[in-house]
């Protein structure tokens, strides 16, 4: 069975609500449950997303699920098993099977409405397929005009070759989806005592030439400030790169990677298993920079998204994993 989501109808008929909700962070809006076959509910953390945004999809079944798959952005997205019963004893539902996945919207994905296909097979029932139509809005990104050393705007042929090789290496890393969920709990901002950062999605004009959009969040901080792993994972890369200087990438599993750039010093090596909060290195000003800061990036199934959204999204959801 296949049907269209009422999310689209709701958004089309209640623009004032949509406008009001847009004043709040995307992840704080109401959850709209859908059904997908008998006893199966789909919940999205928000009824739409925007460029560089994240959505959390939850599949909650009264019966054990044999298989759950979903397709988003022409890719199969991996689910993880949430705690089987996450409710107060008074409303306990026996045999609830809960699966979750994170959907990333690349910061350059054209605005529009995109299908999310969900396929569900319970242990005893027939297979069900459902389609949710998810609106993706334009991000509100500023334009940043920067002046940097000429070599970074007009690199030599050797530098172009190096940068292209490094770009291909990064793509190959982000293409790999480690099937295990290596993280456990909330994601944290990598610097102690810091609650927010800026510049995500900024369109850059470098020395008068349009460059690529800024794919991470910048945290200005003194050189030498310790940088902590946002969550548990495995170091996928720890080396100097042309644009991002000394760089560490942590694989958290299920297609989720965090990226730490411009370090003055790297304290881990590729292949290391790191705990949440473990020091990866120190803030610096290596690579293409105008001053010392941490550039923190996040990719989800190769979509470049805002890492601060993951802190919010899993901060509340991991709490519900523990029994709310």
Q: Which residues bind Zn ion (CB under 5 A)?
A: 216, 218, 295
C-beta of 57 vs 294, nearer to Zn ion = 294
Q: What is the DSSP letter of 33?
A: E
Give the shortest CB-198-to-Zn ion separation in angstroms.
Answer: 9
CB of 318 to Zn ion, least distance (A): 27
Closest to Zn ion by CB, 79 vs 243, is 243
Structure tokens of 94? 């026996």
Integer Cα distance of 186 and 200 in angstroms: 21
Q: How far is the CB of 307 from Zn ion (least distance, A)?
A: 11
Residue 209 CB, nearest distance to Zn ion (Å)? 18
- Return the number of the residue (104 or 307) whose C-beta is nearest Zn ion: 307
Measure the CA–CA gap between 12 and 6, rounded to whole angstroms: 10
> Residue 76 or residue 290: which is nearer to Zn ion going by CB?
290
The closest residue (CB) to Zn ion is 295
Tell me how far CA of residue 256 lies from CA of 26, 76, 294, in angstroms: 20, 14, 19
Closest CA to 225 of 248, 193, 191: 191
Between 78 and 297, CB nearer to Zn ion: 297
129 CB burial (10 A radius; 0-12, 13-18, 19+):
middle
Least distance in angstroms from the C-beta of 218 to Zn ion: 4
Are the CB atoms for 226 and 192 separated by under 8 Å?
yes
Residue with tokens 């909330």: 186
């Amino acid at each position: 069975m296949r049907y269209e989501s009422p999310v689209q109808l709701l958004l089309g008929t209640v623009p004032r609500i949509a406008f009001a909700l847009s004043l709040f962070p995307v992840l704080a809006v109401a959850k709209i449950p859908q059904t997908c076959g008998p006893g199966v509910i789909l919940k999205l953390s928000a009824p739409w997303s925007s460029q560089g945004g994240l959505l959390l999809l939850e599949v909650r079944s009264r019966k054990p699920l044999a298989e759950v798959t979903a397709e988003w952005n022409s890719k199969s997205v991996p689910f993880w098993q949430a705690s089987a019963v996450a409710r107060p004893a008074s409303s306990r539902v026996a045999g609830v099977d809960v699966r979750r996945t994170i959907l990333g919207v690349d910061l350059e994905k054209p605005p529009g409405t995109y299908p999310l296909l969900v396929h569900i097979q319970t242990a005893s029932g027939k297979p069900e397929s459902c389609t949710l139509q998810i609106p993706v809005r334009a991000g509100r990104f500023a334009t940043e005009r920067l002046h940097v050393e000429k070599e970074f705007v007009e690199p030599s042929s050797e530098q172009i070759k190096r940068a292209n090789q490094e770009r291909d290496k990064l793509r190959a890393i982000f293409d790999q989806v480690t099937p295990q969920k290596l993280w456990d709990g909330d994601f944290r901002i990598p610097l102690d005592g810091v609650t927010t950062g800026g510049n995500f999605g900024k369109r850059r004009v470098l020395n008068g030439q349009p460059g690529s959009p800024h794919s991470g969040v910048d945290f200005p901080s003194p050189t030498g400030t310790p940088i902590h792993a946002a969550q548990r994972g495995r170091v996928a890369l720890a080396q100097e790169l042309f644009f991002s200087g000394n760089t560490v990438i942590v694989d958290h599993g299920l297609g989720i990677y965090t990226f730490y750039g411009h370090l003055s010093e790297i304290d881990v090596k590729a292949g290391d298993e790191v705990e949440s909060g473990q020091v990866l290195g120190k803030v610096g000003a290596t690579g293409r920079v105008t001053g010392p800061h941490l550039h923190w990036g996040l990719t989800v199934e190769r979509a470049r998204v805002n890492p601060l959204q993951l802190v919010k999204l899993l901060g509340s959801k991991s709490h519900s994993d523990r029994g709310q």
